[in-house]
Amino acid sequence: MQTKKCQVLVIGAGPGGYVSAIRASQLGLKTIIVEADRAGGTCLIRGCIPSKALIHAAHTFHNLAQHSSGDGHMGISIPGPAELNMSDLIGWKEGIVDRLNKGVEHLLKTSGAELVTGWAEFQDAKTVKVGEGKDAIIIQADNVILANGSVPIELPFMKYGNNVISSREALQLQEKPDHVVVIGGGYIGLELGITYRMLGSEVTVIEAMDSVLPIFDKELRRPLERHLKKSKIKVHLGVFAKGVEDQKDGKTKVNFIDKNEKDESKMQSVIADKVLVTVGRKPNSECLAPTGVALDERGFVKVNQRCETNMRGVYAIGDVTNLGEMLAHVASFQGEMVAEIIAGKKREYDPVAVPAIVFTEPEIVSVGLSPDEAKAAGHPIIIGKFPLAANGRSLTQEAEKTGGFVRVVAREDDHRVLGIQGVGTHISELVGEWTLALEMGALLEDIAGTIHAHPTMTEMTHEAVLATLGHAIHSA
């Protein structure tokens, strides 16, 4: 049995793990990273990247359908309906994933980090065994970074299998389902539900809360809710999914009931080809018992602002921790930070702003405080908005059809920007400027005094700031 020793051992090659391994190697630390599947993790292999590829393809297919109906669209007509080959679409998506996977492996290799493929079985907090028998490898480390990630939550009365699928299987379907029932109206369910609707599937959403995407305020949700209605996506709010029944024709019946209803004779049902369960994710921490690291009641690894666990020299980052949102960019940030901490640099996780994006149609973006959050925190606020319909670049891309806008929240007394939100097609591409503005403590005047290129959608940030100051140029 081979034994390897290193200064840094990273468990998991997702967006947190591979970034930490590369940075640790750059800093001169002997680093080994262990991954059971493929480098890139959930985000690259079966999450963020493949879902965005499908979303883009769905938009393309939907747009082609417009050109092939009636007199066409934008003066462009196609003499026949667009056709979808689902297996070819999945193959195109896999090509993107493969390219990025190889890119991550190349980056790890050129940085000097060693990638070991296999399941890491902990012997103690700083020792793992990878593989079985004579081919097994024992790895001992001075420091360990846990980047285990997360997995979809499975409902006990709706186990995965047959037609009941998670987001992972939804990104691999070789045939387009006629009807998809989505359990959960959060960002994953709505992103994939809208995607399949644009590809031609009938879609029904079952959500226990009284609104979809309840983490956002009504004003931000309204354009999305209008799009769901216009797209004929059926949304059942305030109802509990109660289980599924396989049908003789190969389909599945989904039972649900109003959350306040006690009489089960009032149970409702809908027949589906696929039942997509998207009720959240949980930390992949069940394998950590031999390490002695402390977990909270939900199974997240407890860490401090430096991502240190209760075990000396053992760190945890990303989805597996109780620090920060379950977002790929949070994991990457923490991964780089921890590598630098191990190398002796002074760092801690204390961001001013973490951007949140939902890639629905329209997209929703939020950075910093919403108006309600700012008021609750005791800030005296002023608010400015600018509609996509008044922006030239948005009009040329037909982004204004969603009824979207950019909204700026700032303190009334000193004009410090507290938060920026937006909803609309392509709106996610503006988030970098917004996050930077908050992180640097920008005032409204800082953004107002910055020249924004024309014609671009970034002009909307400038105009929304001017509206907050009371003198917008291109809106009444």
Q: 351 pLDDT exceeds 80?
A: yes
Express each pLDDT in 312-331 by its tens digit: 999 999 999 999 999 999 99
DSSP, collapsed to helix, strand or coil, labels residue 176 as: coil
Task: Compute the average pLDDT of residues 63-80.
Answer: 85
Express each pLDDT in 130-167 by its tens digit: 999 889 999 999 999 999 999 999 999 999 999 999 99
Taking each helix axis from N to C end, the angle separating 218-230 and 187-198, rounded to the nearest 10 degrees, works out to 30
State CA 42 to chain mean position distance: 10
Express each pLDDT in 235-249 by its tens digit: 999 999 999 999 999
Which run of H or E residues covers position 97?
A: helix 86-111
- Please check whether residue 196 is in contact with residue 86, taking contact to mean a CB–CB distance below 8 angstroms: no
> CA-CA distance, 413 to 362, in Å (whole number)?
33
Q: Which tokens go with 378? A: 């005791």
> CA-CA distance, 382 to 444, in Å (whole number)?
11
- pLDDT on residue 475: 83
DSSP, collapsed to helix, strand or coil, labels residue 74 as: coil
Of 100-114, 276-290, 391-405, 418-432, which range is least confident?
391-405
Q: 70 pLDDT exceeds 80?
A: no
Q: 274 pLDDT exceeds 80?
A: yes
Residue in 9, 292, 300, 279 with CA at minimum distance from that of residue 129:
9
- pLDDT on residue 448: 98
Domains defined for the chain, CATH in brackets: 2-53+88-150+282-342 (3.50.50.60), 164-279 (3.50.50.60), 356-469 (3.30.390.30)
Q: 71 pLDDT exceeds 90?
A: no
- pLDDT on residue 400: 84
- Name the catalytic one among 415, 454, 462, 471: 454
Tell me the pLDDT of the chain averaged across its residues. 96
Task: Compute the average pLDDT of residues 393-408.
Answer: 92
Q: Which tokens go with 449? A: 């005094």
Check if 462 is active-site.
Answer: no
> CA-CA distance, 211 to 380, in Å (whole number)?
28
Q: Would you state the torsion angle of the CA atoms of residues 290, 284, 310, 316, taken in this order, to the nearest 10 degrees?
A: 120
- pLDDT on residue 388: 96
The identity of residue 336, as a single letter, is E
- Please check whether residue 201 is in contact with residue 193, taking contact to mean a CB–CB distance below 8 angstroms: no
Tokens 């065994």 -> residue: 129
> CA-CA distance, 24 to 158, in Å (whole number)?
42
> CA-CA distance, 189 to 166, in Å (whole number)?
10
- pLDDT on residue 85: 95
Which run of H or E residues covers position 63?
A: helix 48-67
